[in-house]
Amino acid sequence: MNSLVSIKRTILTALCALILSILLPPLYAQEDKPSGKAPQEKESTQLVGKWEIYETKEPGKPYVSSYKGRPFVSKGANAFTLVLEYRNDGTFRRMARIGESESIEEGTWRLSGHELRHKRKGAQEEEIMYIRFDGKDHYVSTEVFEDTSDPGLFAKFKRI
């Protein structure tokens, strides 16, 4: 009887070892495998590139392809646009075109969740915007101008 119990235990132990050897390696492999980029890293990567504004709106009003009545035009004598270039190294370049003249500002950027921060060279404070991606080639930003009578601005950007 004791030898029968001992054989049953040996067979049960061998079966358990076999089951564990089949199930546990995939579990260990999952633990060692990197989980991929964090969501904010993915969004930061998605922002890298050149973007041009194409629509704006004030709170409570519809979107229009202009800013305060002046239509967005990319080039030429009637040019009026804003182009932002976000680089992998955390720097950005902002180019505003009005007519034939361009003004260029540079600085650093940081995206954490939906909060985008710009720190322009020579500026004391960061600009803070909130963005939402509407696909890989479009995003919407919301900028609130604190301590002013201006309620803020919603802007749509497209990748160029």
Do 28 and 61 lie in a common domain? no
Do 8 and 66 lie in a common domain? no
Do 56 and 122 lie in a common domain? yes
Task: Please enumerate in sequence order all residues whose Cβ is within 8 A of that of 131, keeping only pairs 6 or more positions apart, or say none.
Answer: 47, 111, 114, 116, 139, 140, 141, 142
At residue 37, the pLDDT reads 46
Distance CA 121, CA 144 (A): 21
Do 53 and 122 lie in a common domain? yes
Q: Domain range for residue 8?
A: 1-33
At residue 1, the pLDDT reads 63
Do 71 and 149 lie in a common domain? yes
60-69, 119-128, 142-151: range with lowest mean pLDDT: 142-151
Do 119 and 145 lie in a common domain? yes
* Pairing mode, strands 101-112 and 127-133: unpaired
Do 26 and 93 lie in a common domain? no
Do 24 and 54 lie in a common domain? no
User: How many separate domains does the chain show?
Assistant: 2
Do 20 and 49 lie in a common domain? no
Q: Residue 25 phi/psi, 5° resolution?
A: -55, -45
Do 44 and 28 lie in a common domain? no
Do 14 and 47 lie in a common domain? no
Helix or strand run (H / E) with residue 96: strand 91-98
Q: What is the mean pLDDT of residues 37-48?
A: 72
| CATH number reported for the structural domain that contains residue 65 in this entry | 2.40.128.280
- Convert the pLDDT of each residue in 49-107 to its tens digit: 999 999 999 888 899 999 989 999 998 889 999 999 999 999 999 999 999 899 999 99
- Please check whether residue 137 is in contact with residue 49, taking contact to mean a CB–CB distance below 8 angstroms: no
Could you tell me the pTM of the whole model? 0.70
Do 26 and 44 lie in a common domain? no
Greater confidence (22 vs 111) lies with: 111
